[in-house]
Amino acid sequence: MSKRPLVTTEKRNRRTEKIDRLSTLDMVRLINHEDCLVAPAVGKESKTLAAAVDRIVEQLRQGGRLFYVGAGTSGRLGVLDASECPPTFGTAPRLVQGIIAGGRRALVRAIEGAEDYSKDGAATIDGKKISHRDVVVGIAACGLTPYVRGALRRARQIGAATIFITCAPEAADSAEAEIVINPVVGPEVVTGSTRMKAGTATKLVLNTLTTGVMIRLGKVYGNLMVDLKATNEKLRDRSIRIVMELTNLSRPAARRLLQKAEGKVKPAIVMHFRQVDLTKAVTILDQCDQSLRKALQEKS
């Protein structure tokens, strides 16, 4: 017998059983009411999230990489989070990677059958040449996805750090992972549609993981993204404003400083306060483990 009907994410939500009879306004309000349950559910996982952040940082500092593995909505959210790290935090594309069952085509078209084979998940881990230095985060709202389970099982065999994200409490105890993050958001508004509350919870969890990790790695100063890559006009403007904020320079002066720093915010700030050129600023940051705060504190 399938375990799926017993899983919370597949159960029927008694509060929304008559949603199709409601007025549009009441329908929207009911959906919003259910959405309001998500953030508190994620908040209950704070200690586990903190442990996951520290574990990921530990691995990345040893030269490891972070991989998200999922299918359907879970896989797309993992790919989304990974793709946003390079422009936001200046990371190399290989550092945080998203893997989705069915490959790139599954990003824009549902390929639901791709999630059904654990051997495919294991093969993906092998294909990425994952090692004991890496971290594999499996994402499965229902907790049962064979592709994700297979990937996590193979990752553990290799000795990689493993983390599992699921919204199904029934699946948490049997998860083959070191750390299990389990925000319980309850049954969905539309039965089984985990693109809704479970998807929202997953997005919040992933936001917290990568943001927390990047803060710990020194890619944020205060609440400013000092390692961003200015790849468009919006980010170029943000770079200038960050430099202005931290140095009290005028906009033209901040722009000139950034030009000397080849557009790199963190070295530009070190150049200003340490009165050094770009090469020396980069060396100082390397000596300070890329921590801008440490680089400025050590100013003689």
- Segment 129-139 shows an average pLDDT of 97
Answer whether residue 221 is part of any domain. no
In a domain, 226, yes or no: no
Q: Which long-range contacts (CB under 8 A, 24 or more apart) does 247-252 make?
A: 247/272, 247/273
Do 53 and 170 have their domain in common? yes
Residue closest to 290 by CA, chosen among 60, 33, 34 = 60
Could you tell me if 236 and 244 are in contact, meaning their C-beta atoms sit under 8 angstroms apart?
no
Mean pLDDT of 2-24: 87
Q: Cα 3 to the chain's mean position, in Å?
A: 29
216, 246, 277 - which closes a domain:
216
Dihedral pair phi/psi, residue 181, rounded to 5°:
-100, 120
Query: Would you state the pLDDT for residue 5?
Result: 61
Looking at the fold, whether 146 and 241 belong to one and the same domain comes out as no
* CA torsion angle 106 107 109 114 (round to 10): 20
Integer Cα distance of 93 and 151 in angstroms: 21
Q: Provide the CATH number for the domain around residue 285.
A: 1.10.8.1080
User: Residue 1: CB partners within 8 Å, gap ≥ 6?
Assistant: none
Residues 55 and 202 in one domain: yes
Answer whether residue 68 is part of any domain: yes
pLDDT in tens, 259-277: 999 999 999 999 999 999 9
Answer yes or no: do 98 and 172 share one domain.
yes
CA 159 from chain centre, in angstroms, equals 22
In a domain, 222, yes or no: no
* CATH code, 32: 3.40.50.10490
Q: Measuring CA to CA, how many Å separate 273 from each of 11, 72, 83, 294, 295? A: 58, 48, 32, 12, 10
Tokens representing 97 are 């990677």
Does 227 map to a domain? no
CA distances from 127 to 36, 83, 151 (A): 40, 20, 11
Domain boundary among 216, 251, 284: 216
Residue 55 lies in a domain: yes
pLDDT for res 60: 97
Q: What is the 3-state secondary structure (H, E, C) of 141-179?
A: CCCCCHHHHHHHHHHHHHCCEEEEECCCHHHHCCCCCCE
Answer yes or no: do 123 and 253 share one domain. Answer: no
Residue-number span of the structural domain to which 195 is assigned: 4-216
Q: Which range among 16-30, 96-110, 131-145 shows the weakest confidence by mean pLDDT?
A: 96-110
User: What is the spatial distance between Cα 90 and Cα 263, in angstroms, rounded to a whole number?
Assistant: 12
189 and 237 share one domain: no
Number of domains in the chain: 2
Of 218, 190, 203, 202, the residue nearest 292 (C-alpha) = 218
Question: Does 64 share its domain with 105?
Answer: yes
Statement to judge: residues 204 and 240 lie in one domain: no
Confidence of residue 1 (pLDDT cuts 50, 70, 90): very low
Q: Is residue 285 part of a domain?
A: yes
Single residue among 216, 248, 283 that ends a domain in this structure: 216
Backbone angles phi, psi at 132, to 5 degrees: -65, -15
- Which are the catalytic amino acids? 84, 115
Domain co-membership, 128 together with 241: no
Domain match, 164 and 66 both: yes
- Residue 60 inside a domain? The answer is yes
259 shares its domain with 153: no
Other residues' Cβ atoms within 10 Å of the Cβ of residue 142: 21
Q: What was the pLDDT predicted at 172?
A: 86
Token pair of 278, please? Answer: 């770009």
Do 93 and 125 fall within a single domain? Answer: yes
* pLDDT number for residue 104: 83
Mean pLDDT of the chain: 93
User: What is the per-residue pLDDT across 154-200, written as a single tens digit (0 to 9) for each?
Assistant: 999 999 999 999 999 998 888 889 999 999 999 999 999 999 999 99
Cα separation, 274 vs 55, whole angstroms: 33
